[in-house]
C-alpha cells in the first residue's frame, strides 16, 4: 500500500505565507502526495509550483465556518475551478443542518457540485459539532447531492476526526461515496486505522512524519 497516495498535504493556518505554500508544494512533489489542500488565495501559486506533476490541488470553500450564503460558496467554487483547482473541499452550513433544514443543506451541496462539474467535491461535515444522528443525516444529504467525498472536519472546530464518526459515515457512504478523515492525524498508526475503516484520503499537515515512519 502506498500511504503517500492517501495524503492531502494540508496548510490552512491563517498565518501561512507564500513561502510556506512553496515549501508545502515542494514536499508534496518530493513525497508524491495525492494533493495539497490550500486556501483559495494560494491556488494559482500552488498550481505554478506543482506544474508538470501529478499532485492535485484541493481548495477549501466556505471555510472554516460554512455559514456563507449558497451564492457566495458557489461563486467561490466557480472561481477556484476557473483558476485551476482539481478538487473542492466545502463546509456545510452546520447551523442549518442542526436546525433540521436538510433540504437547504442538500440544495447547497447540489449547487456547488453542479458548478464544478466533473471536478471532485469533498463535503466537510464538521462532525465535532454534530450528534451521531446528525452526522448520518449530513452524510445522506451529501450522498443525495452526488458528492464525491464526505469529510470529517476542518481542523478548526472543537475536535477532529474520530474512528466513531468515520464508522457512522461509512454506514451511509458504503461504496457510493469516498471518505476523507482530517483533523488530528499525526502518526502512522492512526492513519492506518482510518484506512482500515475504509477512508480513501487523509487530510493532515503531518504527512511527512507518516511517510518517514512508514520507512523505518
pLDDT at residue 59, as a whole number: 98
pLDDT at residue 121, as a whole number: 98
Indicate if 180 belongs to the active site.
yes
Residue of 56, 113, 122, 151 with catalytic role? 151
Cβ contacts of 170 within 8 Å, gap of 6 or more = 179, 197, 198
The span from the CA of 75 to the CA of 199, in Å, is: 29
Label the pairing between strands 35-38 and 201-204.
unpaired
Residue of 86, 89, 148, 165 with catalytic role? 89
Where do the structural domains in the chain lie, given as residue ranges? Answer: 3-215
Q: Which three cell numbers stand for residue 53?
A: 506533476
The dotted CATH code for 3-215 is 3.20.20.70
Judged by DSSP in three states, 200 sits in coil
Q: Which three cell numbers stand for residue 19?
A: 513561502
pLDDT at residue 34, as a whole number: 98
pLDDT at residue 1, as a whole number: 75
Backbone phi, psi, residue 108, to 5° = -65, -45
Return the residue matching grid coordinates 457512522.
Answer: 168
Return the residue matching grid coordinates 460554512.
Answer: 66
- pTM attached to this predicted model: 0.96
pLDDT at residue 197, as a whole number: 98
pLDDT at residue 216, as a whole number: 45
The span from the CA of 108 to the CA of 187, in Å, is: 34
Residue of 56, 73, 122, 180 with catalytic role? 180
Per-residue pLDDT tens digits of the chain, which is 216 residues long? 799 999 999 999 999 999 999 999 999 999 999 999 999 999 999 999 999 999 999 999 999 999 999 999 999 999 999 999 999 999 999 999 999 999 999 999 999 999 999 999 999 999 999 999 999 999 999 999 999 999 999 999 999 999 999 999 999 999 999 999 999 999 999 999 999 999 999 999 999 999 986 454
Indicate if 151 belongs to the active site.
yes
Amino acid at each position: 500500500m502506498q500511504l503517500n497516495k492517501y495524503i492531502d498535504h494540508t496548510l490552512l493556518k491563517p498565518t501561512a505565507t507564500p513561502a510556506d505554500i512553496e515549501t508545502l508544494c515542494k514536499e508534496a512533489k518530493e513525497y508524491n502526495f495525492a494533493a495539497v489542500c490550500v486556501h483559495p488565495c494560494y491556488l494559482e501559486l500552488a498550481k505554478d509550483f506543482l506544474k508538470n506533476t501529478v499532485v492535485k490541488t484541493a481548495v477549501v470553500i466556505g471555510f472554516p465556518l460554512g455559514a456563507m450564503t449558497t451564492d457566495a460558496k458557489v461563486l467561490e467554487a466557480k472561481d477556484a475551478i476557473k483558476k485551476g483547482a482539481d478538487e473542492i473541499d466545502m463546509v456545510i452550513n452546520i447551523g442549518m443542518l442542526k436546525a433540521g433544514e436538510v433540504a437547504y443543506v442538500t440544495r447547497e451541496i447540489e449547487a456547488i457540485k453542479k458548478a464544478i462539474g466533473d471536478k471532485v467535491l469533498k463535503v466537510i461535515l464538521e462532525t465535532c459539532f454534530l450528534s451521531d444522528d446528525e452526522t448520518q443525516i449530513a452524510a445522506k444529504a451529501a450522498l443525495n447531492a452526488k458528492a464525491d467525498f464526505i469529510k470529517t472536519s476542518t481542523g478548526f472546530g472543537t475536535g477532529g476526526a474520530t474512528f466513531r464518526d468515520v464508522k457512522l459515515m461509512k454506514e451511509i457512504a458504503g461504496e457510493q461515496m469516498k471518505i476523507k478523515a482530517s483533523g488530528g492525524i499525526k502518526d502512522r498508526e492512526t492513519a492506518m486505522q482510518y484506512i482500515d475503516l475504509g477512508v480513501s484520503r487523509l487530510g493532515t499537515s503531518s504527512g511527512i512524519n507518516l511517510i518517514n515512519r512508514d520507512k523505518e
